Chains A and B, each alone.
Chain A
Amino acid sequence: AQRVTQPEKLLSVFKGAPVELKCNYSYSGSPELFWYVQYSRQRLQLLLRHISRESIKGFTADLNKGETSFHLKKPFAQEEDSAMYYCALSSTSGTYKYIFGTGTRLKVLA
């Protein structure tokens, strides 16, 4: 079955601490993986995708095909990182629809 799992509903860290948001997936084939972020009262926006291998706002994510994971990491959390984070996968063929995880709310405490 195609599935994206984000095991933590809520993650609280102190400002300046490292943060890791977990994402595991189940998919037969070669998916593309994405992280979307939703700040308070704003729309979902793309944070990063695995094929670009970019670092956005200090966040990075590495696709680990062996562990079927795509964890989001940042070495030093900032208060403005507080938001809802969604991991999603898309097939690279067919209709390219996204399969989303249930999301993790990150709270960065002062």
Chain B
Amino acid sequence: NAGVMQNPRHLVRRRGQEARLRCSPMKGHSHVYWYRQLPEEGLKFMVYLQKENIIDESGMPKERFSAEFPKEGPSILRIQQVVRGDSAAYFCASSPRQGRIGSTDTQYFGPGTRLTVL
């Protein structure tokens, strides 16, 4: 099992361009989480998706950010019209299921995509 894959590992965009970040969960995992890590901060939850469904997007900025997890293919985090403040490391994590009553499943993390906005 190759683990959670993210690409690209590094992405450079100019202000106003679009950024697309991809995440392939571990085999057999149908739950995907995206987190953002700004410099000198911890990881902050952005969005939680299952196949074809957004379950919780309470951490997503209201504008310019969107996420999807189609039936086939990787999960995509899309940032439109990027600004310098979007520069950060974006991590994806996957888990096999949502958890059982009174417990939660471990999340397995990808290596992250480091986005730099010039």
Q: Given that A43-B109, A43-B110, A44-B91 are known contacts, is A96 also in contact with B42, CB under 8 Å in the complex? A: no
Contact A101 B112 (CB under 8 A): no
B90 interface residue (CB < 8 Å to A): no
Q: What CA separation (Å) do A35 and B44 show in the bound complex?
A: 16
Count CB-based A-B contacts (< 8 Å).
64
B85 interface residue (CB < 8 Å to A): no
Q: What CA separation (Å) do A32 and B95 show in the bound complex?
A: 15
Minimum CB–CB distance for B108 against chain A, Å: 8
Q: What CA separation (Å) do A93 and B36 show in the bound complex?
A: 22
Name A42's closest neighbour in chain B (CB-CB).
B111
Contact B56 A97 (CB under 8 A): yes
Interface 1/0s, chain A 73-110, versus B by CB < 8 A? 00000000000001010111111111111110000000
Contact A98 B35 (CB under 8 A): yes
Contact B112 A96 (CB under 8 A): no
Q: Given that A44-B109, A97-B33 are known contacts, is A92 also in contact with B42, CB under 8 Å in the complex? A: no
Contact A100 B44 (CB under 8 A): yes
The 8 Å CB contact of B107, one of A51, A93, A98, A101, is A98
Q: How large is the interface on B (under 10, 10 to 19, 20 to 34, 35 or more residues)?
A: 20 to 34
Contacts of B107 in A (CB 8 A): 98
Q: How large is the interface on A (under 10, 10 to 19, 20 to 34, 35 or more residues)?
A: 20 to 34
Q: What CA separation (Å) do A45 and B107 show in the bound complex?
A: 9
Contact A98 B45 (CB under 8 A): yes
Q: What CA separation (Å) do A91 and B58 show in the bound complex?
A: 15
Interface 1/0s, chain A 32-56, versus B by CB < 8 A? 1010100000111110010100000
Q: What CA separation (Å) do A100 and B102 show in the bound complex?
A: 20
Please report which residues of chain B, range 97-118, place their CB below 8 angstroms from some CB of chain A when the two chains form the complex. Answer: 98-99, 101-112
Which positions in A face B, CB cutoff 8 Å? Answer: 4, 6, 30, 32, 34, 36, 42-46, 49, 51, 86, 88, 90-103
